[in-house]
Amino acid sequence: METALLYDTTLRDGMQGENIFFSSEDKLKIARKLDDAGIHYIEGGWPGSNPGAQHFFELVRDIQFKNAKIAAFGATRRQGKTCEQDGNILALIDSGAPVITIFGKSWDLHVESIMDNTKQENLAMIKESVSYLLARDREVIYDAEHFYDGYKANTPYALKTLEAAVEGGTQCLVLCDTNGGSLPCEIDTITRNVVAHFRNRGQQDITFGIHTHNDCAMAVANAVTAFHAGATMIQGTINGYGERCGNADLTAIIPILALKMKQDCITDENLKKILNLSRFVSETANVPPVNSRPFVGKSAFAHKGGVHVSAIMKNPRAYEHIAPELVGNERRVLVSEQSGKSNIIYKAKELGVDLGKDESRKALIVASIKELENDGFEFDAAEGSLKLIMEKLTDQFVPNFELESFRVTVEKDKERPCYSHAMIKIRVGDKTEITSAEGDGPVSALDNSLRKALTTIYPQIDDMHLVDFKVRVIEGTDGTDAKVRVLIESRDTNNIFSTIGVSEDIIEASWQALADSFQYKLSLDNTIKGEKK
């Protein structure tokens, strides 16, 4: 079996996904990341379709990528025109991209009913376009759009469209499941038949590729199946972004090829970059990462059940199909009402809490966690608060400050939006601090007021910022009297941490989470005016 070629189309097909947009500068940054991760082909867009795509090719024209070739994407010439008369074909050449990927119609339904074309003219369009581009010293990849549907509807004609591309001179045929409706068994049979068809004709030098969509949740499975059947170029997008239900997700395909199928398609060093690549593209697209995404998701190697945790402490292979470090990820043990002592022991060690040898302490923590989660807390999403609770239950918690009281007022008049004011009284050691501050909302005002009270004593809190604030109603049957759960995510230069609060009062729940975030930050660096506690 030949080595797999990785072809990324995030910057074109991925951008066709709902709510996905990249500026030309964004695309350049992503292209550099893809190249650094060892991707072989990076499809930059359709230069004939919009100015933004053309601008990207201008930006990359003089850049030397160390691993990747840049590809421009477009269609065969229009019916009734020559290649010289077709603006899109000319734009592909003007892009300066060393690789050009063009698509043509494989399904007679599209040829006759959608394009109002003839089958013979469609074949001529494919052959002439490929030939014209190859004559301009470009590597040409031919994407057979809707190939699997076309093959199922009219096998002889679908094969003729591929033959036309080969007659035009291409040595790379990519079979596309454009509607995403094919199943792995169909992909396997059809791909093997196509490969055999050309091999039997003596055309041994043709490379076959696969391009799948996820409308049946089969994109990754279909891509891997096609590779096993002889298609060695794998097209996909980072995080599976793409039209409708998305494209095949390269963050899953690459580890499968490298680790499961033992393909030398990416170095071990670059494989470890997959998680950061996934998150970088997600952040650039302003789309939250999917925690359950295989290999690179936050939950991909998270363990919650006590039986599972007990087993992985002895041998991680018991409940992990690969070592998370291979893809740049990490093992996480969650603590919740489903936890046992194994979870507590593992988590305490991870968080730096010494449980000692007293088994009763461990049992107390397990029981307390379960009781708190029954009241609405959720510690697998708030490890900062979890550490503080463990320290409190084992008499290791030394509060950096203690609340005496706070007061929050909210005002609104017809001239200005709502604004809030908070006054807070806290005790730090033997000293009492009373401060007040305004904010855009009650939590903002409390944050500003607490920060103001603590800054002179703990200057390191200037480095901490609230980055996310979430409110959930735990049980809605009580209406406005229902309990709410507040999750706060904070970060400093080196850490991201989450804390939690639960109450019938949203301000009290917010205070709990906010106070924990400051306590946790200070526990990371127990320094007062440069001196250790």
Domain boundaries, the chain: 5-285, 302-393, 402-532
The closest alpha carbon to 27, from 66, 58, 62, 67, belongs to: 58
Lookup result for tokens 């013979």: 120
Report pLDDT for 382: 84
Report pLDDT for 364: 86
Q: Give Cβ neighbours of residue 409 (< 8 Å, ≥ 6 apart).
A: 420, 421, 422
Report pLDDT for 527: 34
pTM over 0.85: no
- The answer to whether 163 touches 173, Cβ cutoff 8 Å, is no
Three-state secondary-structure class, residue 493? coil
- 531-532 and 233-236: which strand pairing? unpaired
Report pLDDT for 1: 53
CATH T-level fold of 5-285: TIM Barrel (3.20.20)
Phi, psi of 94, deg, nearest 5? -65, -20
The closest alpha carbon to 164, from 195, 131, 138, 132, belongs to: 131
DSSP class per residue in 420-442:
EEEEEEEEETTEEEEEEEEESSH
Give me the sheet containing 465-473, strands edge to edge.
465-473, 484-491, 496-503
- The H or E element that residue 202 is part of is none
Report pLDDT for 518: 95
Retrieve residue 6's tokens: 């990785």
Rounded distance between C-alpha atoms, residue 437 and residue 420, angstroms: 9
Average pLDDT, consecutive stretches of 10 residues, N- to C-terminus, the chain (533 residues): 89 95 92 97 90 89 95 96 96 96 97 96 98 97 98 98 98 98 98 98 96 98 98 98 97 98 95 93 86 94 85 90 95 72 80 83 84 83 88 90 94 83 93 92 93 90 87 71 86 85 93 95 63 40
Report pLDDT for 532: 39
CATH code assigned to 402-532: 3.30.160.270
Retrieve residue 266's tokens: 């990416």
Rounded distance between C-alpha atoms, residue 388 and residue 386, angstroms: 5
Q: Which residue(s) pair with 213 in the sheet?
A: 247
- The answer to whether 100 touches 138, Cβ cutoff 8 Å, is yes
- 99-105 and 139-145: which strand pairing? parallel
The closest alpha carbon to 209, from 8, 374, 353, belongs to: 8
Query: CA 229 → CA 143, 187, 188, 247, 248, distances in Å?
Result: 18, 8, 6, 20, 17
What is the DSSP secondary structure assignment for residue 74, as one 8-state letter? E
Rounded distance between C-alpha atoms, residue 162 and residue 372, angstroms: 63
Q: Which residue(s) pair with 486 in the sheet?
A: 471, 501
Three-state secondary-structure class, residue 215? coil
Lookup result for tokens 């939590």: 443
Report pLDDT for 526: 61
The closest alpha carbon to 132, from 178, 82, 97, 194, belongs to: 82
- The answer to whether 297 touches 291, Cβ cutoff 8 Å, is yes
Cα angle value 361/366/368 (rounded, 5°): 90
Report pLDDT for 339: 64
